[in-house]
Each structure stands twice: as C-alpha cells, then as structure tokens.
Structure 1
Amino acid sequence: MTACKKNTLDREASFIRQEKSPRWFFGKIRKPFLETLKKTDIQECRRSWLCCGREDEEPVEASPTGRCSLGDVANAKPGELEFISLEPQPRRRKTDGAPRWRGIAFLLAACLFCFSGSCIMWTTDAFHDFVANQMVLDANKGSFAWWVTPPINPWFRVYIWNYTNWDEYTRDRSIKIKLKEVGPFTYREVIRREAIEFDEKGITLSYREVKTYEFMPEMSATEDLNATVVVPNIPYFGAKAKVAGWGQGLFGTAGSVILNLSSRAFKLNPLISVTANGFIWGYDDNLFTLSKLDPTNKVPMDQVGLLTMKTIPDDLTILTGAADIDKLSYFVRFNHKSSLGAWSEPACNSFEGSDGSMFPPRKVRAKDTLYAYKPEACRLIKFIFQRKSFAQGVRAHRYILDQNTFMSPRVNPDNLCFCNQTDLQECPLDGIFDTSPCAHGAPMYISYPHFYLTDPAALEPFEGMHPDAKEHDMFADIHPRLGMTLSGRSRLQFNLRVVKETPHLDVGMVLPVAWFAQDLPSYDAGFKTIIIIASYALDFLEFVLLYVLPVAAVLTALVLARRLLLLARRSPYAAAPTSAENAVEHADERPEDGEQELAACA
C-alpha cells in the first residue's frame, strides 16, 4: 500500500472518529474562523496539531515538527485545510477508563453494604444483641461503675399497725380489732457493693452488699417516731410456733410447759407496747434473749426489730452475663448457699433471678416473664409485662407482679411446693404467703398492704384497713434496651399467724404487723441526661439502620445501573481501537513520517 493511499485511509478514519466524539471540530474551516484563528494566542496554537492539504491540491509545506504552524494556517486558502483538531480543554474526559471503573466499584461496594446491613437489621437481632452486651458486668465497661455505686437511692417507708382497742377487745370478743396506720417513717436506702471479685473466666461476680438507712424527717411523721404503739409480740408467736412444731409428744409437752412458765415469769402477752422507733430498729425482749441460749438458734441479731435483719451485710454471687446475657445479674449463691433449702422441691428453692435493679435486656425487649429474688418473700417473684410506659424521660416497659404470686395452691397450682401441708385446706388463705421457713421459725406471713388481693376472711376480724390498687400494687418500669429499672414500687405487708392456742386469739388468725413501701425517686439531672441521650441516640440509630439503609441501598443500585448502561453504550468504541484511531492518537509520535507522506502525495 502506497504512502498516499495509507494517508487517505488514515484521514477517513479520522473523520469517523470525529463524528463519534463531539469534542472534535470537523468540516471546512471558513474565513471567519480563520480570521479568529489569526488572532489566537501563539501559546494556544502551539498546543494544537493541524492536518493540512488535500489529495487533489498542492500540500502546504509542513513545519519541521510535522505540524502546521500558525503562519501556515493564516496563509492557507479556504480549500487547503481539510480539518483542524484542537487539543481538548481541561474538562475533556480522559480516555483512560480506570477512574470510571473505580467509581463503579465504589457504588457496588456501597450497594452491597447497605443491602447486607438492611438484611441483618430485618432478619436478625444483631443490633439489639450488641446493645445488650454493653450491659455485661465487666470492670472495663461504663455500666459497671453504675452497678458498683447505684446512681439512685430508693425511698423506704415503714407503716406500723397500731392495735388501738386491744384491751377492750380482750374483754369483749364480739367487737372487731381496730387498727390504725402509724407512719410513714421514711428512710433513704444506700447500697454499697464491696469486696468485688470476678472468677477466672469473668462469668460470675462475688461481692458483699451493705445497706444503710438514712432517716428523712421531711418525708416522715416525726411526731409518731417515739410514740408508743401496741403491736404483736414477735418472739412470743415465734416460740409458740416452735413448740407447735414439736407435736404432742414428750418434747411438745415439755416445750408447752416451759413456754407457759416463761410467760408467767416474764409476763408475756400476745401483744406488747413499744415505741415506733424501737419496733423498727430493735428492742430488748426477755424471751428472745432466752431463745439465744438454744445452740440450734442461728438468729444473727441481738434485738427484735423490723429492719434489724436488713442492716446485716449479705455475701452474694451473681452471673455477669458474659456467658449468657439472658441471665444477667442472676443469683448463683446467696450468703454462701446455692439454694434456699426451705421448700420441698428444687424448683421452689431456686433463687435464679435478679435483685430487681437490673434485668436481662433481651427478655425485657421481648416482653418475656421476669424473675426477681426477694429474701423477704422467701421465693422468686414473678413479673409479667403489662404495657408500655414512660419513665425518667424515656420509653419503658411496665411490669407488674403476677397477681397469683401469693395465692394458695387451691387457686394457683404452681404454688403447691410452697405449702408444707399435706392437706391443701390447711394452706394459708389466698393472698397470704408463708415465709416462716426463712424467718427462723417465726410464723411470718406476707401479703399485699391492707390485705389487698387477699381472701376477705382475712379482713373480717379487723377494722381500719382500706385496700387500694393504686397505692398497694407493685410494678417496675424497665428500660427496654438496657434492662435497668427506671422507676417502680414494691409493697409488702408482714403478718403473724396464730398457729397454737393463744389467749383471746383464734388459731389460724392472721395479725397484721407492718407494711413497707419502697419507691424509686427521679434520677439526678446529670445521670438522667445521660440516659435520655443514650436512649434517643439508640432509637435514632435503629431507625437509620432499619429504614434509611434500605433506601440508600435502592438509590445506590439505581445509580449503579445507570452507570453500567452508559458504559455499555460506549464500550463498542473504546474496547478495540481501529488502525485509523491509532493513527490519530499516535500522530504526535511520528513527526518524521508526515513529511514523507506529504511528499508521496505530491
């Protein structure tokens, strides 16, 4: 192939390339453009290359560099220039496809990320599990400091039942016993957790819990604190119950004789007069002092009082949640015991529940049944979900105490193992629960205050009790993500049951002693702000991951599809360059061949 013919083919290929690329100028250049080009700065012309001449006319003499100079263009006749191709401006798209593919790869990665994240959020609990695991009791986590030093101190109120007409009742059994509620006597319960030790694997945590009570006069009936009240004689009924447990044999008969002699010697009565403060924090009792001589008596206190046992430190071991987050803060050992040992079946002796300040977050979120161990109740307490609520400025789940908790086995068969009687008719009345196995033998029974949700027969002998669901019910508002108890209240009433013949009292009669109200006040401003920010931040993050992430996945998929379609349209022209395109692209690399081709055409 001659050089002239090759040059002709190259120019035809160049025309094809110009028509495909809109950034090239093509066609005959007319005088107006030539006039403009004459005035063009030499720096601009120096950066351009010109193909000059036509096959049927004399070619314009090429410059030594193989390009037409600015003078050649200015002096050329209208037909002598076939076309002029200027170098692209700075905005010209690069011919290299690497940046385009990098953008496509980025879009593909973003689409896959958003789609995968959406699938994880909608099909798994990975997000909720991650949040729940932040509550694991670990010394390196922020939540551990809140557990060691609780940011809130519960209010503990004591109400004492004063038997105002006891003397009159002993003379006339036809009248009812008049009860008067004395109190409240309010205390701030301060909890300290000391001697904290983790096991080697961080699965369990052992510590000593110390409770102190600070009197709050501004919330108390201070004028009644030193007032004299008539209340049931706890050691007296405890001794009666112990003798009754010995039966009718030799020990039972001997015990009855000793008790009668002691009653006459110490002038013991079923009810005694004592100050309210002494009844709460302890008073001396001759019969109680005498009972301490018994080597089998393991009562750890020296005085009789309602709250004396609560000030004794407890040695506890709980689960940290590291092995199973669904058992976070569950008791493993309570005062070195792995079970209560008070009931006939292992299920009832278990205290595998929390202390009520924290619950497994995943169970709270799923609205599952929760369990808390209450030493005063001598059993696990069952809480069931009631409704969603609002506490401490954030959303919460409200749990209430199962109303069948204190029911007799006649109503609630699940409580069968909590009745140590062979005959169900001998079990306590509905709503009254026997806690004597955990009260060192004293016939102590618990119920709701004012005998709320209790068999009406328990109320019949008394006057002055007014059950109220709004005041005497129990509930807990729990954070659905963190498992923390945000607010709530606990209500329990202590009672004594007459288990042996007693002057002026019938066997089986239940005597109210006092009732306790425990409430969680509002958090301080700093900690409350932290809880609010954390709660709403988690809600916002969940909303983004659930709803914004799928939208982002769809949008990135659409953009990616558009880019791929555009690339598919351009791919036939950029995939395999023809020889003519190579001739145009590499024209600058062969300046010497230009003179030879022009000479051959001549």
Structure 2
Amino acid sequence: MGLTPIKLPYQSAKNRLFGIQPRMSSSFQQIPTFNINDPYSHERQVNRRNSRRNNALPINMLVSNQRKISNSRLTVIIFGVVALIAGLILSSVPWVHYIILKNLKLWNGTLSYHYWQKPGVLRLTKVFIFNVTNPDGFLTNGEKPKLQEIGPFVYKENMEKVNIRFNDNGTVTYQHKKILEFMPELSIIKNDEIKLTVPNIPLLTLTTQANSLPGILKHSLSAILRFSNLTPFKHVTPQQLVFGYDDPLTSLANTYYPKGKRPPKKMGLFLMRNGTLDEVSTIYTGHNGMENFGLLDRVNGMSELPFWKGSCNSIKASEGSFFPPREFTKSDLVHVYDKDLCRVWALRYRKDIIKDGVTAGYYTPDDNLLETVEKNADNACFCEDDTQCTIKGLQYIGPCQYNAPVYLSFPHFYNADPKLLDDVEGLSPDQEKHETFFKIQPRLGVPLEARVKVQLNLKVEQSTIYPTSDFRSITFPIMWLEEGVGDLPDNIRRWVYMATTFADAAVPLFTYGLILVGALSLVGVFVRTYHQLVFSRENIERGRQSILRRGSSILVNGQQRLLIVRDSYQRISNNVQETDVDAQQLLP
C-alpha cells in the first residue's frame, strides 16, 4: 500500500503580510500508511523519528496546525496608518491656532473673559506733582517758575468690568469700575503729610476764558474776585489735588452751568476716576472676525466721539485690554482710546522684544501724534482755533474737561517744542523715564506690559482780571502720571507662553513626529515581511531531505516551491491537477 500524499495549502500575499498561518484540513493530517510487505518500513519510521530530533524540522512545522493571525503585526500596521494620516492632517491645518483663537474670543467662561472682566493684575498709577518753589518771584519779579517734582504717590487700581451684557452682533457692553487705593509703602511720603504749591486751576481757567468777554463784564468779574480772597497759587496736599478739595468757583459752576456741562462740586484731578464710571463702552468680542477684536464699537451708545470734527471723532481703537492680532491686521499701527486722553492715540510698532520668554512687539506713540498742523494735516480736526495746534507736543483736551484750557503732553515735555522747556525750570525729559509704550504679543493681541505716561498742563493766557493780572501767558505743568501693568497674572502668563513659544516648538515636533513614527512603523512591517519571503537554499534542502527521510510523497504543480515563514516551511499550491510522485524525483 502506497503513501497518502500530503497537500500543502496555498498562502496568499495577505496571509503572508498579516502573519496568518493556514489551517490544515483533515486530509492533510492523515498519518502516512506504509506497506506491511516492505521490509524497510520499520527502518523508515526510526529514521523519521531521528530526523525530527536531528534536523528539528518536523512535518507540523512545515504547515501550521492552527490558523492564527499575528496580533502584534496587525496592531503595528493600524498604529502606523493612523499616526501617518493624523500627522499629515495636523501638519496641514492650523489646529492649534484654532484652539487658541477659540479661547481668546470673549464669551462667558473662557480664560480671556475672566482676565478681561477682572484682570487680577497689579495695576499701579504713579502720580508726580510739580511743586512751585518761587510763586512770588514768578508773579512779581518775572522769574521763570521753578518746578520741583515730588513723587511718586502710588495708587493701586482695583479694576473690574460690571453691568456686562453680550449682544447678538458679536459685541459686549459694560462699564468700568475703578477703586484707587493709596499705597504708602510704595510712595515717597503719605499723601496727606505734605503741602504743595500748585496753580489755582479753577481761578486761572475762569480768567483765561473771560478774556473773550466784553470789557465791562471783565471789570465786573475782577471786582467780584477782589472780595473772594482767591490767589493764583494754592497750597494743597497730594490727597486733595488728586481726590478733590472744596473750591467756591467749582461749586458755583456746578450750581449754575447747564446740566450737560456741569463740573463736579469739588476740584480734583482724579475725582471722576474713582468708583463706577458713567461711561458705557461696547467692544467687539472676536466672534465675527479677529480683525476688530477688542476694538470699540460704541461709547455711550454713540459710534463716534462728540468732541471734535470729522475723522478725529473716530473710536476705532482698543480700550487697552486686547488688540486685534497683528497677523490678522498686517499693520504696524495700533490705536488706543481712554476717556482721559479725549481722543484715539496711534501707537507704532518699533521692534520685537522678549518678555518672560515670549516674543512681543514694542509700540510707542506715532511720531506725528502731537505734531503741528503744518507737518501733520490730520491733526487739524483737533483744533477749535488756530491757537490750539501751533506748538508741537501739546494736545488740547478741553472739550472733555469742561472746556478748561487743559493740555496733555508727554512728561517733562518729552518730544515737544523746546520753547515749552525754556519757559520753566526744573524739567529734564528722558526717553526711558517718560516714553509711553506697549508690549503686545502679535499672535494674541494681549499686552504683556504697558506704561501710559502723560502730563497735565494748564495753558494760561494773561488777563487784566484781578488777581491773575501778574500771571504771564504760559503752558504751566501741573503733574504727570504713569499708569499701566508690569506683569500679567501667573495663569495668564503661562497660557500666553504655552500658546506662543511652547506651541511654536512643540506642534511641529508632535505633527512631524507622528508622520515619522507612522512611516517607520509601516516600513518596518513591510521590511520584515520581505525578509520572511527570502528563500534559503540551505533550509529548503534540509526540508527536502526531511521529507525524503520520512518516506513521504508530496503533491507538485509544475515547479516545486517551499515558503519559509519564521522557522516553518509550507508548500504553495496553485490548485491545479495534483500528481503523486516518488520522493526521489525531488532530488537534483
């Protein structure tokens, strides 16, 4: 009786790639039957056992008895494909930028909203007052006023936004609430322990404005003032000058002026800055586009200011909390508005700087901001008459200060006409000390640091009215202040760092790392599969010798082929006509 042939199943390319071993059918598992009349039958059985021991190539290693899939290989392939696709997608779309902008836009619950609503930063206002040391010499001897800078008197500004209302057009309406708290530990002296000599602002305002009155009215006013005991200079404490003192002229004006033009009952430079401000502001939240993010839409319900003419009334500016990101605007100019400035100020980008590991744009006031009309025609709409815009470095703010002859400048007349410095003694402008600046992160539009430095001046015109007839025409410095933020809260600073510096480094590493890992995983699988398909002549020969020793016969289809999978040898059949052959025919 002859041997029962062993059928070696065909293995597809998919099975080879995924490591699937073919399952033997029952016919493949039959034990060969030997002829009992063959005297060498027993010897062949012994040789077969020895062959298994010596060559370690038993028949069950040629074809697996179980159909198994390599879980590890399949896992690697799936991981590689997912990582590669994810890396390609993430590297082609600004996904981190989308997440950042989503959290940057103002809406209730975002980190930016909490920072905007109640910043939690140490916002300081530093006040420097000019003490006049020679008031009599100035009035009677024609001396220049000698000014002594006293300060700083430091106030902590506790600020939050109240009465917040989100609108359907992508804006939010609110009011500012500011509480100024004196900080004696940061000040040179307590603000109520020293007396300073300063110009009598209400009196000098009255006499300057009265110059336009008919002569008979001026004489009448002069006669009345003789009985008032008012003098051109007044002795006050810093506390009184900042937060107000009783003055008969302001009290009268509060009583008899028209309702919309009434000044407070007291005279104080910060009198209207403490508490909830009357001004109602509306800004863009960024939901309808980041080009207007943080910019004012309305002030007190109006789309422009009521103080000036034409384009000077524009309120297209930030209120200081956020600015449109520069990567959206592509502009070197940003604009900021503050009620005390009475107008929009243009700030120009100067350079990039690094603060706390984060890149920021350094902005200072535009060179033409306080330029004369002759050199900057755009400033003409800030001038009510030809006398108000003839000197570089001054900005008339009377329309929002009850029409008082009040002018803003930079401290110590920095970047102003030298004539202003020549009229007084004791001023020394310095760029580092007196220049306004903003450090704005260009991608987020968040100010990392800001210092607004302005000086309040009283422009006096000599009058024949007593008791100011000896007070010469002059632009008289009263005080200057610095307000702003030095450092962001820790949580905001970390968020800004993560969204900029860290993201710039981590995102490319992450996305391209996914691509690299995915590609290497797939390449590794295919390389390993390729090596498993390489035929080893030595191992094939050993397999063939093993078959011969067992005395088995095999099925062939044209050309014999053995497939090596790991340490097993499997027969590939093309499912064509099967033929029994003697094992000796396999020998070369």
Q: Name the TM tier (shorter chain).
A: 0.7 to 0.9
Letter of the 1:73 counterpart = Q
Shift of 1:426: 5.6
Q: Quote the residue 1:442 is aligned against.
A: 404
Contact 1:342 1:349 in 2 (8 A): yes
455-464 vs 292-301, greater mean Cα deviation: 292-301
Partner amino acid, structure 2, of 1:277: Q
What are the residue-to-residue correspondences of 1:367-382 with 2, within 5 Å? 368-382=332-346
Match of 2:478 among 513, 518, 521: 513
Describe how 1:177-188 pairs up with structure 2 within 5 A. 177-188=145-156
Secondary structure of the 2:202 match is helix
Q: Go from structure 1 to structure 2 and tell me whether the alpha carbon gap of 1:521 and 1:84 turns closer, same or farther (over 3 Å shift).
A: closer
* CA deviation after TM superposition for structure 1 residue 558, in Å: 5.6
After superposition, residues 259-270 of structure 1 pair within 5 angstroms as 259-270=221-232
Residue type matched to 1:295 in 2? P
Q: Are positions 1:359 and 2:312 aligned together?
A: no
Aligned 8 A contact 1:358 1:483 in 2:
yes
Q: Normalising by structure 2, what TM-score?
A: 0.75
CA, structure 1 residues 257+171, in 2 after alignment: closer, same or farther (shift >3 Å)? closer
Q: How many residues matched? A: 526
The answer for the alignment partner of 1:218 in structure 2 is: 185
Distance in structure 2 (CA, Å) of the matches to 1:51 and 1:331: 94
Structure 2 residue 53 is the aligned partner of structure 1 residue 87:
no
**Structure 2 residue 83 is matched with structure 1 residue 153:** no
Deviation sequence 1:263-318 (CA, Å, 0-9, x none)? 33324443333333222211222222222212255235210111102125133222
Structure with the larger RCO, 1 or 2 (CA within 8 Å, 6+ apart): 2
Aligned to 1:398: 362
Identity %: 27
Shift of 1:554: 4.8
Distance of 1:351 and 1:498 partners within structure 2: 30
Question: 1:286 maps to which residue?
Answer: 248
The question of whether the paired residues in 2 share the 8 Å contact of 1:163 and 1:179 is answered with yes
1:229 to 2:196 alignment: yes
Measured after TM superposition, the shift of residue 569 of structure 1 is 9.6
1:545 counterpart residue number: 507
Post-superposition CA distance 1:236-283 (Å, at most 9, x none): 233345445xx5xxx655653453344333244433333332222112
**Are positions 1:462 and 2:462 aligned together?**
no
Q: State the alpha-carbon separation in 2 of the partners of residues 164 and 283 from structure 1.
A: 21
Extract unaligned runs of 5+ from structure 2. Answer: 20-27, 536-554, 562-569, 583-588
Q: Do the aligned partners of residues 500 and 342 (structure 1) sit closer, same or farther apart at CA in structure 2, a change above 3 Å counting?
A: farther
Asked if the contact 2:107/2:113 (under 8 Å) is kept, the reply is: yes
Do the aligned residues in 2 keep the contact of 1:48 with 1:87 (CA within 8 Å)? Answer: no
For the 8 Å contact 1:364–1:397, the answer to whether it is kept is no
Distance 1:103-1:520 versus aligned 2 partners, 3 A rule:
closer
User: Which range moved further: 220-229 or 320-329?
Assistant: 220-229
Distance 1:268 1:221, change over 3 A: same
1:190 corresponds in structure 2 to 158
Q: How does 1:590-601 map to 2 (within 5 A)?
A: none
Question: Which residue of structure 2 aligns with residue 167 of structure 1?
Answer: 136
Kindly provide the CA deviation profile for residues 451-474 of structure 1, in whole angstroms up to 9, marking residues without a partner as x: 111100001121111111111111
Distance in 1, Cα, partners of 2:382 & 2:443: 34
Tell me the C-alpha RMSD between the 2 structures.
4.5
- Measure how far apart 1:78 and its partner are: 10
Q: Partner residue of 1:504? A: 470
Residue 48 of structure 1, CA deviation: 6.7
User: 1:463-491 CA distances to partner (integer Å, 9 max, x unpaired)?
Assistant: 11111111111112334444333323221
Q: 1:419 to 1:85 in 2, by over 3 A?
A: same
Deviation at 1:140, TM superposition (A): 2.2
Q: Distance in 2 between matches of 1:212 and 1:434?
A: 27
State yes or no: 1:325 paired with 2:298.
Answer: no
How far apart, in 1, do the equivalents of 2:294 and 2:178 lie? 18
Say which SS state the counterpart of residue 371 (structure 1) adopts.
strand
Could you tell me how far apart the structure 1 residues matched to 2:366 and 2:75 are? 62
Query: Are 1:107 and 2:80 an aligned pair?
Result: yes
How far did residue 511 of structure 1 move? Answer: 0.9
Q: Any conservation in 1 of the 2:407–2:457 contact (CA below 8 Å)?
A: yes
- Match of 1:266, SS state, is coil
Q: 1:285 to 1:92 in 2, by over 3 A?
A: farther
Does the Cα contact within 8 Å between 1:443 and 1:497 map onto a contact in 2?
A: yes
State the secondary structure of the residue aligned to 1:177.
coil
- For the residue of structure 2 that corresponds to 1:225, the secondary structure is coil
Given that 1:383 and 1:399 are in contact with CA atoms closer than 8 Å, whether structure 2 keeps it comes out as: yes
1:559-598 deviation line (CA, Å, top 9, x unaligned): 545656777899999xxx997999x9899xxxxx99x999
What TM-score do the two structures reach when normalised by structure 1?
0.74
Contact 2:380 2:389 in 1 (8 A): no
Matched, 1:432 2:394: yes
Cα distance in 2 for partners of 1:91, 1:156 equals 84
Q: How does 1:29-68 map to 2 (within 5 A)?
A: 51=32
How far off is 1:348 after superposition? 1.4
Q: Which of 334, 347, 368 pairs up with 1:383?
A: 347
Residue 164 of structure 1 aligns with an amino acid whose one-letter code is T
